[in-house]
Amino acid sequence: MLYFFESYLKTRYIREFQYTFYNLIYRRKNLLSEKKIQYTVTCPLCKKEIFFEVEKEKAQNKLIGGLASFSLSAHGSPPHVLTIYLDKEGKIRGTYVSQQVEGFTSTETSSQQLELQFNHIVDAGSELSPKDGKAVGLEVISFDILIDKKTRKKYLKDIFSPDVFDLLLKNHRLETEPISVIDFYEFFKNQDNGKPFIVLTMASNLSEIYNNALKARKHLENENPSFAQRITIMDSNTVGPLLKQMAKTALQMDKNGRNMQEIKLYLDWLSNNNQSYMLVDTLEYLARSKRVGRLAAFFGDLFGIKPILVGNIEGDGELKPYKSVRSREKGLKEIIKLVEEKFSGKKVEGIIFHVLCEEDARAFKELLVNELKIDEDNFRIEPLGSLIGIHLGIGTIGLSVYPEL
């Protein structure tokens, strides 16, 4: 009897111990999962879906100016690194390609360039880095970013969007400096391989880059007129994702055997028919900017207003003030109204862009599709890089739109 009683007690204690042990393990797993947030993002460069986890406490500790940034492991071909921005609520505000892995060289680049009829050049206002461009057959020329009036760095070569955003969040003073005449002059001479050049620049009303490229070609005319005649320089009347699209489309037209006249006709048509609408979250960055600081004067110093800017309305690439609103919702509805008035009865397509406000951009796309009854596949969402971030500020959202061909 005693033997069975002792056996019963041992079995009971063992079961209780097992129950307690497994319960602790289960609770620990739950606690660990509660401390982490899981995300899936789409890479802006290669469109691959990337899964990652972030510890809540670590995200809170990394907050600067209301945002925390995390760099993920390299992926893709060529290998590149993503930087993700999260706000204090754990929502994704932006996904940016911060760099390509050093030491990687594309085996396809040289063969791609050999197949091309023309040398394709675009400035870094396209938000393409020299490495990204070279991987697809484009040559990208960088401009300088001046930090606190002391340090110069080549944009998308020495300094990337996440670096710039971090500096802005820490209240550093940043300015952009255009590509100089001498830089263009040397670039043309170094890239000369006997083929004609197609040089596409950001809007001339936003930067001196276009005019400096023309001056460099003028210098070459004095030395080598036949070389200068092979250089075609075009003003895109835009900047950012649409400039990138124009450069890549011209490249693809070249690969498809289109001639120079056909490519120029396309670029001229899109540069004259695109329009951009931007809702700026604060006047702070506008007031700082040398290039577009005059726009801040139009809106005065009213607290809490959100300016709406319109670009290329008259086909000249100029960014102009339209009106101010008191909320983002009103501002985005006003932009939709402007698009509807301008493109009434036409099928349109374009790009919705944002500076570290990805969730707002998705909501804006849904609103745009529903209000204008357009195909959602006609509009994609892309992050704006730090060129716009420096001048218009974090929180800027808008779209570039044009008629379907």
210-266 tens-digit pLDDT: 999 999 999 999 999 999 999 999 999 999 999 999 999 999 999 999 999 999 999
Beta-sheet strand order (sheet of 67-71): 67-71, 80-87, 92-100
**What is the sign, positive or negative, of the torsion defined by CA atoms of 29, 83, 401, 129?**
negative
Contact between residue 287 and residue 153 where contact means Cβ atoms under 8 Å apart: no
pLDDT at position 4: 46
> Residue 302's pLDDT is what?
57
Residues near 270 by Cβ (< 8 Å), separated by ≥ 6?
A: 236, 242, 246, 402
**Rounded Cα–Cα distance for residues 313 and 315 (Å):** 6
Q: What percent of the chain has pLDDT over 90?
A: 50
Q: What distances in angstroms separate CA 133 from CA 78, 109, 186, 205, one per listed residue? A: 11, 10, 19, 24
Q: What is the residue extent of each domain of the chain?
A: 36-100, 109-143+178-271, 274-403
What's the first-to-final CA gap in the chain, in angstroms?
94
| CB-CB contact of 180 with 155 (8 Å) | no
184-210, pLDDT tens digit by residue?
999 999 999 999 999 999 999 989 999
User: Which fold would CATH assign to domain 109-143+178-271?
Assistant: Rossmann fold (3.40.50)
Pick the CATH number of 274-403 from 3.30.1180.10, 3.40.50.300, 1.10.3430.10, 3.30.1130.10: 3.30.1180.10
Mean pLDDT computed over 144-154: 94
Using CA atoms, how far apart are residues 139 and 246, in angstroms rounded to an integer? 14
